[in-house]
Amino acid sequence: MAPTLTQSFAQPSTRPHTPGETGVPSPPERAPGVAAALLLPLTDLVPAMAARCQMHPSIDRIGAELAGWAREMGLETPAQAGFERMAGRAFAESGTDAAFLFAKWLTWLFHFDDEWDEKPAGRAVEIVEVAFERLDLIARGSVPASSPVERAFEDLWKVTSARMGQRWRRRFLMGLAAQGAACRTEAENRCSGRVPSVAGYPALRRGTAGPYLFDLVEPCLGVEVPVELRETPTWQTLMDACNDVTAWCNDVASHHKERANGDVHNYVTVAAVAFGFSDGDAVTWVNDRIAARSKDLRTAARRLPGLFDQLGIPAGQARDLSRVACAFLAAPRAQLEWLLESSRYDVP
């Protein structure tokens, strides 16, 4: 049974999970990366990030099928990437299909993201524009996919869009366009040597994280959020705060790697430049911002039962929408555990 919003607000259990316990596979035997370990103070600052997540009972099957799908699409995914483990935690109490679909989208998104973060294309505005334009055309059935990243997107879009209505599909494509605009801004910054401002960075980072990633919870769970709810400040805060918390956690974990690559699009770097902080002080400052934004996330979720009543949402639909909200609440801790065990941000 999926958790209710009330259960999600309860003090998280600190009972340790024993390796080999039913539904809880043993974690990989590797120490946390130095950068990811800088996020551990959040377990004191944010109670909801203190308790270990459950893991989907079919995680081994999900991981094997994900690896097979990535090979079929031509995506080169390191064995230690572990994208299925993040999805397996965020959708621990959902069906296998939900966790598998989200894991595939995570795999695709991180491959696509690497095109801009780690390759010369991230400095070429024209390449960024063409790449996002082609994805939009592929989604509309106007051009065939060619590269592995495009073929994987086409495959995922066919499966995902078929589950949702026209309004959701338009919303997804708007989120894709927003990511394209944000990646274009990053390319312009890299060319000019400009470091984003502290005030402007959160909105830019929210764009590059892929706003549609948070819309994907709906097709994974088979739930479509009605427009009258989605356009409320409460639901928008719920989504934006989840985006901010996970994106900023990623920034802390990836800071050393991105600095080594000469990329300034990282909240730790932005804070260090703006305030003259040392790396340690900048990380502390970002962790404090993450803790504050985590509070916004949970405050918005607490308002939902009253908002459901106010909008006249039937009880059954309200339960389904609560499942979407619970996935947002689970995401920060699920991502934290993945960051601590993944080798993605290791610096040679």
Q: Residues 22-75: pLDDT tens digits?
A: 333 333 444 455 678 999 999 999 999 999 999 999 999 999 999 999 999 999
Asked if residue 20 is part of any domain, the answer here is no
Looking at per-residue confidence, does 337 or 345 come out higher? 337
- Residue 55 forms part of a structural domain: yes
Q: Which residue has the higher pLDDT, 89 or 23?
A: 89
Residue 1 lies in a domain: no
Task: Read off the pLDDT of each residue in 193-203 and give the average, rounded to a whole number.
Answer: 97
Question: Is the predicted pLDDT of residue 19 greater than 50, yes or no?
Answer: no
Q: What is the pLDDT of residue 348?
A: 63
Q: Which residues contact 170 (CB under 8 A, 6 or more apart)?
A: none
> What's the pLDDT at 24?
34
Q: Is residue 255 part of a domain?
A: yes
pLDDT score for 33: 57
Give me the DSSP letters along 123-177. Answer: G-HHHHHHHHHHHHHHHTTSS---SHHHHHHHHHHHHHHTTS-HHHHHHHHHHHH
Asked if residue 182 is part of any domain, the answer here is: yes
SS3 sequence of 10-56: CCCCCCCCCCCCCCCCCCCCCCCCHHHHCCCCHHHHCHHHCCCCCCC
Tokens describing residue 43? 């377990």
Closest CA to 208 of 190, 241, 182: 182
Which pLDDT score, from 0 to 100, does residue 30 have? 47
Mean pLDDT of 91-103: 97
What confidence tier does 4 reach under pLDDT thresholds 50, 70, 90?
A: low
Q: Are 250 and 339 in contact (CB under 8 A)?
A: yes
Residue 111 inside a domain? The answer is yes
pLDDT of 2 > 60? The answer is: no
Q: Which residues contact 98 (CB under 8 A, 6 or more apart)?
A: 91, 220, 221, 222
Q: Is residue 26 part of a domain?
A: no
User: pTM of this prediction?
Assistant: 0.90
Band of pLDDT at residue 304, cut at 50, 70 and 90: very high
Q: Region 286-297: what's the mean pLDDT?
A: 98
Mean of per-residue pLDDT scores for the chain: 89
Count how many domains the chain has.
1
Q: Which residue has the higher pLDDT, 98 or 25?
A: 98
| pLDDT given at position 301 | 98
Contact 230, 273 (CB under 8 A): no
At 113, the pLDDT band (50, 70, 90 cuts) reads confident
What are the tens digits of pLDDT across the range 223-266? 999 999 999 999 999 999 999 999 999 999 999 989 988 899 99
What is the span of the domain harbouring residue 293?
A: 34-341
334 within domain boundaries: yes
Q: Quick one: pLDDT at residue 77? A: 83
In CATH, what number is assigned to the domain containing residue 249? Answer: 1.10.600.10
Rounded average pLDDT over 145-169? 97
pLDDT at residue 118 greater than cutoff 70: no
Query: Does 131 score more than 60 pLDDT?
Result: yes
% of the chain exceeding 90 in pLDDT:
79
CA distance 265 to 283: 14
